[in-house]
Chain A
Amino acid sequence: MRILVIGGGMGGTIFANHLARRIHHEMKTGKARITMLSASHEHVYQPGWLYVAMGRATPDELVREQQSLLEPGIEFHVDPVEEFHLAENHVKCKSGKVHEYDLIVISTGSRALPEKVPGLKENSINCYTAENAVEFFKQLSDFKGGRIVVTVGLPHKCPMIPLEITFAMHDFIKDRGLLDKTEFYYTYPIGRVHSLENVAKWAAPEFDRMGIKYETLFNMKEVDGKNAQVLSEEGGAVKYDLLVAVPPHKGQEVIEKNGLGENGWIPTNRSSLHMEGEHGKNVLVLGDTTNLPISKAGSTAHFEAEVAAENVAAVIKMGRPVRSYDGKVFCFIEAGKDRATYAMFDYKTPPQPKAPTGAVHTFKMSYNKLYWATARGLL
């Protein structure tokens, strides 16, 4: 079986390594082959950008050579796919090379697009690339007081980041003795401070205790840089001195260009993770690339990849898959002052976040180092 993995991010890498370990014998005897195609030779631990923005990590700490993370036997090429020919079971890459497959796994991720909101890119900071996270740190370091506004676009990856970035900035400003000169104003698209009801019930009193003001049902429509204000679809206007954005996201352009999914999100079966539609039988979709109504987060890609790898191995060895994806997501929530909690949920079970503790924060900091074992399919 020729297995082609598109994308060297969390989903693709965890899938390929888990599968390679499970079908080691079949790969050795030539009955199975795994090929990965990526747009980059680097693998980036994106959750670390939050720490870069706060001056608690540097970008190079978050990067490894992709080849070094892959199990022996996985063929790896830096050659982005430009054309998907799903009816003919092949893809064509930027180099012109064609790769045929029996099974394709698409895990190309998503990207922040501040340019989708008029005025947002020029007038705000965000931590969704290494460069932007460094710029975030510089502007926050130079901040001398005033109003910091957090504005949130939809959809976005890392659902905890609006809360985490607010708590983290509060610490940063407090540690620099600027709290009495600074007002925090948090906005959020729906009628509470977070999408998860139980997380919102915990976070709102935390905001109250810390003096962080908030406005809900606020969906940014445009940023008026001249007058330093964010305008909302609901008719609101909020003035800022420093604007912190969680920009709206899209999937990758190549997905849209090939007609695989509107805005780059591929219609995906919520249990089997197969692409919906005529040619989806030998197409699996992982991570942010799906259109599933669940968090666009590393842990989602991780748990989906494990299920997909186990199923593909079972199909090779026993002729049929063994598991369904149950919607499992696990997100740490950095709550400021070296405390953290977490939210774990699936399609049927809502999260029940506990009070933040130092122990969970320590575990999160440890996991930031342990992540490379997850990418290798070991943890």
Chain B
Amino acid sequence: MSERVVDARGSFCPGPLMELISNMKMMQVGDTLELLSTDAGSAADVPEWIKKVGHEMVDTEQDGEGTWHIRVRKAK
């Protein structure tokens, strides 16, 4: 199992969720990914997609500088 970090801070296009989807295609089942995002929308739209596809949310937190750290696991 591996863990990767995707730094999507300041990404308007393709944006954090598209970066996450692209990276998850390169991952194996069981691998985890931490998405860094400065877009508040990521805290809502990432879990929505993860749930719809059937992957797994690990946790979400915002650091003192306003960056969201969203951790997910590839489940299928």
A interface with B by C-beta (< 8 Å):
154-155, 159, 189-191, 195-197, 217, 219, 233-235, 248, 262-263, 270, 293-295, 327, 329, 331, 343, 345-348, 350-351
CA–CA, A349 and B18, complex, Å = 19
Set of chain A residues within 8 Å of B52, measured between Cβ atoms? 217, 234-235
With A154-B25, A263-B26 as contacts: A348 and B13 at CB distance below 8 Å? no
Query: How far, in Å, is A308 (CB) from chain B's closest CB?
Result: 19
A-facing residues in B4-35 (Cβ within 8 Å) = 6-19, 21-22, 25-26
Q: A343–B22 contact, CB under 8 A? A: no
A297 closest partner in B (C-beta) = B13
A-B contact pairs, 19 of them (CB 8 A): A154-B14, A154-B18, A154-B21, A189-B17, A190-B18, A191-B17, A219-B21, A219-B53, A293-B6, A293-B7, A293-B8, A293-B10, A293-B19, A329-B13, A343-B13, A345-B13, A346-B10, A350-B12, A351-B12
CA distance A154 to B6 in the complex (A): 15
B12:A190 contact, CB within 8 angstroms: no
Decide if B10 touches A327 in the complex (CB within 8 Å): yes
Give me the interface of B with A, judged by CB distance under 8 Å: 6-19, 21-22, 25-26, 41, 45, 48-49, 52-53
Contacting pair A195 B14 (CB below 8 A): yes
Residues of B within 8 A of A217 (CB): 48-49, 52
Residue of B nearest to A249 (CB): B22
Please, which residues of chain B bring their CB within 8 A of the CB of A219?
A: 21, 53
Residues of B within 8 Å of A195, CB to CB, are: 12-15, 18
Instruction: Note all chain A residues with C-beta closer than 8 A to B12.
Output: 195-197, 345, 350-351
* Residues of A with C-beta under 8 A to B16: 293
A258 to B37, CA, bound (A): 30
B26 touches A159 (CB 8 A): no
Q: Do A159 and B14 have beta carbons less than 8 Å apart?
A: yes
Which listed residue (A191, A262, A347) contacts B26, Cβ 8 A?
A: A262
Tell me the nearest residue of chain A to B55, going by C-beta: A233
Evaluate contact between B13 and A196: CB separation under 8 angstroms.
Answer: yes
The CA-CA distance from A196 to B14 in the complex, in Å, is 7
Q: Kindly state the separation between the CA atoms of A41 and B41 in the bound complex, as whole angstroms.
A: 45
Known: A154-B25, A191-B45. A293 touches B14 (CB 8 A): yes
Residues of A within 8 A of B19 (CB): 293
Most B Cβ at <10 Å: residue of A154, A189, A234, A331: A154
A347 to B18, CA, bound (A): 16
Q: Are B49 and A191 in contact (CB under 8 A)?
A: yes
